[in-house]
Structure 1
Amino acid sequence: DHRLDALVPMITWHDLAYSLSPNNAVGGRGVPGVFKWQWANGFYLVGEGRPVTRPSLDPSRINSLGCLHFVTEACRTFHTLNSGSYPAGRTARLLAFARSVSPVSYLHRVKAPTLLVQGQSDTLFNLNEATATYRALSAQGTPVKMIWQSSGHSSGPTAPATGELDLSKGNLETSYVGRRVLAWFDRHLRKRTHVDTGPAFAYHRDWVTDPDRAYATAGRIPVPGRTFYLSGDGKLVDNRNKVARGSRTYTNRLSPTSHSDSSLAVQSGLPAAPPRDTKGTYLDWTSAPLTRPLDVVGAPRVTLRVHSPKAERAQDSGDAADKLVLFAKLYDVAPDGTRTLVRRLVAPVRVPDVTRSFTVTLPGIVHRYRPGHRLSFVIAASDDAYFGNRGVKPVTVISNEDELHSLQLPTVD
């Protein structure tokens, strides 16, 4: 729209196909993801509850599929996702519709200077969404910068004391994010060309309490560099020569056995249950205690090969729901053994082909692993915020010199 001179999108999506049914496997774009039923059905019920919450709305707007307040294609998308069956033709239409109402489909037309603000505590639209938009705009020459603030859809109150923008408190001029927004509009809306709009990339550090230092800046987004290896004895080691030979197996059950996200509880003000995994339904690899701080800023990547004969036999059925589903995630393990799932984030994966290795991009994080703490990487069979596997599919991970599995972390000094 030529009438728009400057944009500041906040905690929004890049691709709804990823937001509501993510597949974090690299190259898995053509494979339907794992339905994020908790968030999606929450929105669906809010919409369909309008006759009760908004009785003045026209009750005659019922489309052919029986949805009261969604257009036919949106209604069909919800029905397909909730069916648990994803045949190729139907899911191709679903993905096409989701992308048609997403920035990914029209970013090539966005020329207005854009300051992206995304939340680290966000299991609905994670940092990877803004990163994808940032890279697309940057590649085509649209002026763009990005800030990763702390709060998002999955957090409670903001943290204005450490530079967070909270519009309800009117702290545009006193918060770091607020000042960046004002500078952006001064430069690109009011055409004050002398105004400095700040660095290309900034991120909030929750381990820094000084409001003048809580945000760190960089000229670019860090990329994965530091590598750990998944050893057959359950250790996460920093050298491939330390990898022990071995294999371990987990088995999913017909009901979810892992919990990560309580975002709907947070949104409604209810207590959030802590993350958990049930013994026998996940595998973990844990590092030795760290001797110095490890600051992870960005999206970690892991390369895996799993063995699952049942999944292999079923994966070419023509229904993507028969492909293996797993969830990758990072924990911070304190010296007393307390485990913290970083920002409650997980990477859902519908494995494209279990006969081959695959790479997973985890959600972006900003997290300090303190000295004495340990880094733990987990793959779990299920997560109760998502749909899971169709049927029981045991999974084995083998580690040896021929099958190396690596975790790469984007770190900063």
Structure 2
Amino acid sequence: MRRPSLKALAATATAATATAAAAMLGTTALGLAPAALAAPPPSAATTALDQVDTYTGLHFTVPAGTDDQGRPQTCVIDADLYKPHHADAAHPVPAILTTNGFGGSKADQAGLGRAFAQRGYAVLSYTGLGFPDSGCKISLDDPGVDGVAASHLVTFLGGGGSAAYDSSDLAGTSGGAGTLAVDFTKLDDPATHDPRLGMIGGSYGGQIQFATAATDPRVDTLVPLITWNDLRYSLAPNNTAFTTGVTYADQTPGTEKVGWTGLFFGVGIADGIQGAAIDPARNVGCPNFVQEACLAKATLDTAGYPTTDTFRLTDRVSVGHYLDKVHIPVFLIQGENDTLFNLQEAVATYRGLKARKVPVTMAWQSWGHSGGAHGSSGAAPGELDLSGQQIEGTYLGQRIKDWFDHYLKGSAVGTGPEFAYFRDWVSYTGNAAPAYASASSYPVGSPKAWYLSGSGDLVSSRAAVAPGSVSWTNPGAGAFGSYSEVSGLEGQVPAGTLPPGTTAPFDTPGTFGAWTSAPLTTPATVVGVPTLDVRFSAPTVAATQSAGPAGQLQVFAKLYDVAPDGSKTLVNKLISPVRVGDVTRSVHIELPGIVHRVETGHRLQLVLAGSDAAYKNAYAVQPVTVTADPQAPAVLRIPLVG
């Protein structure tokens, strides 16, 4: 396959995503919302806490593995430090290291930095490599690059070396500039500059925690929010043929999330332009990304699926492929409303750590990369205030504080349930704790089976399955007949792209198959990952699938909640793309992990579509039939609680 040049790729990505990149940099980025993380003004809730000494513009030049040409490199890192005013060598405090989500900077953690410094932690917030005032290219949280760079910051927090700062805001002083050496952190081993240290951050700032812990055994605990397990699954998912976790077999690659990958590259290129004065080399060759990333993007855009070369990159930068190197307690927080890094990713990491007997806790919060109706961060009221103004007053804020107090201060405070999840149908005021259900572990509940019957029925008894079939085809030529969402571009779709007035998901008749249940007689609470075991009949595809992924069947599976008036809800607009390696065999599909209450009188509807607007679709026309077999019916299993 002929690949486009890196120059052509850069031009295409920049033109296609400039508007989205600008919007993302000003709002939510591929991480935590900068607007929500701005430094809070002093408030009555924090005046009784310790004062904070702030050092801004800390400048580090650190070794960071090799560049994309295999040459040893050093990188400039821009950082701020928040120190409890009363911390000193005689009164040392634990440390927290944090960095930004994709497209952000050190300023994004300013609120949390001050908040935790007020509560007895020294917090170093830095801008990740490839972003505004830090140098080198974006390496996608590579342990051998980003992890190595972060390790030098751990050494600094452990008293090794010093750093110049541009300005300071010290309690009782006018500030200025100078050089800072750390002698106020608790040390596990002075000889190795080993501080008592935890990490926190979201998305890109979540994965760096795993990369650092895998590189540096001095890190003591992690709190990663809304991050990935395997980037091959995140950016080109295939919800079948899993080998472990969410890692699928190489011979059945996934389907590109065109909205997310385009936005991802647009933001990264924009940051490279912004930071050209810091490191002009960022824009040489592949603009502000390691060359493998540009080649992977070119492959996805031309073929629509990743190849072995792509996997070499994504595997290297994904914790699912180096989980054996993570041995410290982890508090995973993942978003229910997230079409970039879905709940399955956190489940894969949770299960992998637990199987290795690593202490792990998991919470599913209301919001993720896909935002929400609750504000700039998407968090529900009383759930998590990333500005730091409400730590103890929010459910997850208190749990994060308790987690750090337990593992870094040695406090006897509990760390909460091993598994908790937000329920958006529960009314409450103030703290969001009443909306969270908890359990001693994941999964919860029991799977309930429904069977595909007749010409479109979903029945709850195997004996009720009747003969019949459902057929559909995709539009072909890469077009879409179904719309779920447009990922990071939600709300920014150009006029005329979708039918007038379209905001809700839809499926064009003839391009999907559907099976609908009878109205429920009691409410059903879904918590977890539904699965589908089904056999397809697709003779045209069977004749072409051996030629490779382009000839294999594409299916997009989803579960609707259908109200009595016929209106439909696609929970958080989540769907499961599938590429079927062999249509002559039964296929096991994971549908999106969700938390949802289906009310009495509502119906469940399983939809299998041939295409979706958020993904790269098949160019060949692929007629498909699912035949109901009373002797061996297709079965949908939905995890229900209560």
TM-score normalised to the size of structure 2? 0.61
Partner deviation per Cα, 1:52-79 (whole Å, 9 max, x = no partner):
545535455455xx52111111111111
Distance apart, 1:222 and its partner CA = 2.7
Instruction: Please state how far the C-alpha of 1:8 moved relative to its aligned partner.
Output: 0.5
Corresponding residue number in structure 2 for 1:259: 483
> What SS class does the counterpart of residue 248 from structure 1 fall into?
strand
Counterpart of 1:123 in structure 2 is 339
The two structures, once aligned, show a CA RMSD in angstroms of 2.1
Partner in structure 2 of residue 406 of structure 1: 635
Q: In the TM superposition, what is the alpha-carbon distance from 1:171 to its structure 2 partner?
A: 1.9
- 1:100 paired to 2:321: no
Greater RCO (CA < 8 Å, at least 6 residues apart): 1
Structure 1 counterpart SS, 2:292: helix
Corresponding position: 1:152 with 2:376 = no
Aligned pairs (5 A) from 1:122-271: 122-156=338-372, 157=375, 158=377, 162-168=381-387, 170-192=389-411, 194-210=412-428, 211-222=432-443, 225-254=447-476, 255-266=479-490
Q: Tell me whether 1:9 sits opposite 2:9 in the alignment.
A: no
Verify the 8 A CA contact 2:526 2:596 in the aligned structure 1: yes
2:240 and 2:589 in contact (8 A); partners too: yes
Question: Deviation of residue 41 (structure 1)?
Answer: 1.1
> What residue identity is the alignment partner of 2:424?
D
When residues 173 and 71 of structure 1 are mapped into structure 2, their CA distance, relative to the original with a 3 A threshold, is same
CA deviation after TM superposition for structure 1 residue 96, in Å:
2.4
The equivalent of 2:609 in structure 1 is 380
Pairing partner for 2:249 from 7, 21, 29: 29
Instruction: For residue 371 of structure 1, give the secondary structure of its aligned residue in structure 2.
Output: coil
Do the aligned residues in 2 keep the contact of 1:171 with 1:178 (CA within 8 Å)? yes
Partners in 2 of 1:75 and 1:197 — Cα distance? Answer: 42
Q: How many residues align?
A: 406
Deviation, 1:273, is 2.1
Give SS of 1:316's match.
helix
**Residues in 2 aligned to 1:116 and 1:85: alpha-carbon distance in whole angstroms:** 31
Report the CA distance shift for 1:363/1:85 in structure 2 as closer, same or farther (over 3 A): closer
- Picking from 69, 74, 82, the partner of 2:288 is 69
Hey, what's the Cα distance between the residues in 2 that align with 1:281 and 1:85? 20
The one-letter amino acid paired with 1:5 is: D
**Which stretches in structure 1 are left out of the alignment for 5+ residues?**
none
Q: CA deviation at 1:297?
A: 0.2
Quote the sequence identity (%). Answer: 47
Instruction: Determine the C-alpha separation between the residues in 1 that align with 2:469 and 2:581.
Output: 22
Alpha carbons 1:262, 1:272 under 8 Å: kept: no
Contact 1:137/1:143, CA 8 A, preserved across alignment: yes
Tell me what 1:91 maps to: 307
Distance in 2 (alpha carbons) for counterparts of 1:222 and 1:296: 11
Report which stretch shifted further, 103-112 or 90-99: 90-99
Once residues 452 and 234 of structure 2 are traced to their aligned partners in structure 1, the CA distance between those partners, rounded to angstroms, is 29
* Residue number in structure 2 paired with 1:303: 533
Matched-pair contact (CA < 8 Å) for 2:276–2:282? no
Deviation at 1:101, TM superposition (A): 0.4
Question: Which residue identity does 1:209 align to in structure 2?
Answer: S
Tell me: CA distance 1:181–1:58, structure 2 relative to 1, closer, same or farther (3 Å). Answer: closer
Note the 1:315-334 alignment, pairs <5 A.
Answer: 315-317=545-547, 319-334=548-563
Give 1:162 shift: 4.7
Q: Give per-residue Cα distances to partners, 1:258-290, cap 9 Å, x unaligned.
A: 111233244869998211110000011111111
1:41 aligned to 255, 259, 262, which one?
262
Distance 1:9 1:357, change over 3 A: same
Instruction: In structure 1, give the amino acid aligned to 2:410.
Output: K
* Counterpart-to-counterpart distance in 1, 2:508 and 2:321: 40
Aligned AA for 2:485?
Answer: D
Cα distance in 2 between the residues matched to 1:203 and 1:52: 40
Structure 1 residues 110 and 195 mapped into 2: Cα distance closer, same or farther (>3 Å)? same
Q: Which of 354, 364, 373 is residue 583 of structure 2 equivalent to?
A: 354
Deviation at 1:163, TM superposition (A): 3.7
Deviation at 1:109, TM superposition (A): 1.1
Specify every segment of 5 or more residues in structure 2 that has no aligned partner in the other structure, as ranges: 1-215, 243-247, 495-500
CA distance in 1, matches of 2:404, 2:316: 29
Counterpart residue identity of residue 284, structure 1: A
8 Å Cα contact 1:160/1:175 also seen in 2: no
